[in-house]
Amino acid sequence: MSDRIRLSREAVEAPASGIVAVIDYARGHEGVIPLWAGEGDLPTPGFIAEAVTASLSAGETFYTYQRGLPELRQALSDYTARLYGIESSPERFFVTGSGMQAIQISIAASASPGDELIYFGPAWPNFAAACGVRGAVPSEVALDWTDAGWQLDLDKVVAAIGPKTRTIFVNTPANPTGWTADHATLKALLALARQHGLTIIADEIYSRFYYAADRAPSFHDIMEPDDAILFVNSFSKNWAMTGWRVGWIETTPAIGTVIANLTQYSTSGVAPFMQRGAIAAITEGEPFVAMQVERAHKARDIFTERLAATNRVAIVQPAGAFYSFFAIDGITETRETAFRIVDEAKVGLAPGTAFGPVSPGSFRACFHRRLDEVEMAADRLADWIGRSA
């Protein structure tokens, strides 16, 4: 780095990804089954790509609405109304350049530098890192590991709320743990937010990947329309559009100008042809979503049952999302062990160290892949555990 370039402390301190470290290490290794990244292995369906091709052919390559195409905002409103059985309005929806940008905008809208934002760990690292880049302070409340899986102790949340707390970030179903809040927990969190004047950022990107019903419990089920909740979501997971970078925010129209301005001064909106693909996804894609969830459900069972059978792994079937977050007896350092597993078992895992300090002895596996690959990966891991762990 040139000593003539003076960088901000926040930029310099932005952490490197522990997941990418394993991916980079495995480059050139043949035959590795990649379970490290948070995406499935299916390409975007053709009917979505065709909508984009038609849009490009029609010349939709100019600047467009900061808040998103009216047709897409209406489609998002209709989708939400169907999914949650509620009244909705397109004025509540704002299209963003990915779910990650939706989170960045929500942080910028709800917290100033120095403010504290509570989140629950182990956690996908991007939220805490985005807070740090903003100059805000991420405050982790640790989930508790039990025989039934990960649980949230609400007393810990109460204890974490201080004079500088502005926001509670709730990712449910959660990455990497699969923890899924029930309605009682959501009601308690909403009551705390109302009591202390806090904003909730509700990351429900995995709401459809819920294995007990059509979708997970949601703040939509219990909220009032004017509650201070910013829902962040993305087309990435449900419709196999991870590379597209299209997401959305849902919130009260009262702050619509703020959201539009923050979009203007970051990306100035999402390309209209990509939004046409998103419209096709959300209006025609229900059979594809159902197929993906069914496939992930089977993969979850295959993976967790095989590793549990070793009697050397602390693992439960996650209620939602498409990750298994597990610990292997006797292993406390997972970054270097993940490199070993690439070399010796030909399976790529994300180390627990990438998800914060709560569970450095755990690994995350994304099981949202072809069932034969998931079975092969589980067999390789089980064999490796028997030989090496």
Instruction: Render pLDDT for 115-136 as a digit per residue (tens, 0 to 9).
Output: 999 999 999 999 999 999 999 9
- Give Cα 347 distance to the centre of its chain: 22
Percent of the chain with pLDDT strictly greater than 90: 85
| Average pLDDT over every residue of 25-52 | 94
**Which contacts (CB < 8 Å, 24+ apart) does range 134-137 have?**
134/10, 134/104, 134/107, 134/108, 135/10, 136/107, 136/111, 136/112, 136/166, 137/164
- Quick: pLDDT tens for 239-270: 999 999 999 999 999 999 999 999 999 999 99
Rounded to two decimals, what is the model's pTM? 0.94
pLDDT band at 28; cut points 50, 70, 90: confident
Beta strands in 192-256 (DSSP E): 199-203, 229-234, 247-250
Predicted local confidence at residue 356, as pLDDT: 84
Residue 18 above 90 pLDDT?
Answer: no
* 122/358 Cα distance (integer angstroms): 6
Query: Hey, how many other C-beta atoms are within 10 angstroms of the C-beta on 343?
Result: 12
- What Cα–Cα distance (Å) separates residue 37 from each residue in 22, 40, 177, 195? 10, 8, 14, 38
* 96/22 Cα distance (integer angstroms): 29
| Average pLDDT over every residue of 175-184 | 97
Residues of 279-305 as b/e, b for ≥16 C-beta within 10 angstroms?
A: bbbbbebeebbeebbebbbebbebbbe
* 213/356 Cα distance (integer angstroms): 30
pLDDT band at 273; cut points 50, 70, 90: very high
- Quick: pLDDT tens for 314-347: 999 999 999 999 999 989 888 899 999 999 999 9
| Average pLDDT over every residue of 361-370 | 94
Mean pLDDT of the residues in the chain: 94
Predicted local confidence at residue 389, as pLDDT: 55
- Candidates 301, 315, 42; CA nearest to 176 is 315
Q: Which residues, listed in sequence order, are joined to residue 138 by a DSSP beta bridge?
A: 117
* 52 close to 366: Cβ distance less than 8 angstroms: no
Determine which of 27-31, 91-95, 240-244 has the lowest per-residue pLDDT on average.
27-31
pLDDT band at 91; cut points 50, 70, 90: very high
Predicted local confidence at residue 3, as pLDDT: 67
pLDDT band at 367; cut points 50, 70, 90: very high
DSSP for residue 203: E
Predicted local confidence at residue 236, as pLDDT: 96
CA angle 373, 377, 381 (to 5 degrees): 175
| Average pLDDT over every residue of 194-216 | 97
Predicted local confidence at residue 360, as pLDDT: 72
Determine which of 62-71, 245-254, 322-331, 348-357 has the lowest per-residue pLDDT on average.
348-357
Predicted local confidence at residue 359, as pLDDT: 74
* 385/337 Cα distance (integer angstroms): 11
- Quick: pLDDT tens for 280-310: 999 999 999 999 999 999 999 999 999 999 9
Query: Hey, how many other C-beta atoms are within 10 angstroms of the C-beta on 339?
Result: 15
pLDDT band at 2; cut points 50, 70, 90: low
Q: What is the full DSSP assignment across 315-326?
A: ----SBSSEEEE
* 280 close to 48: Cβ distance less than 8 angstroms: yes
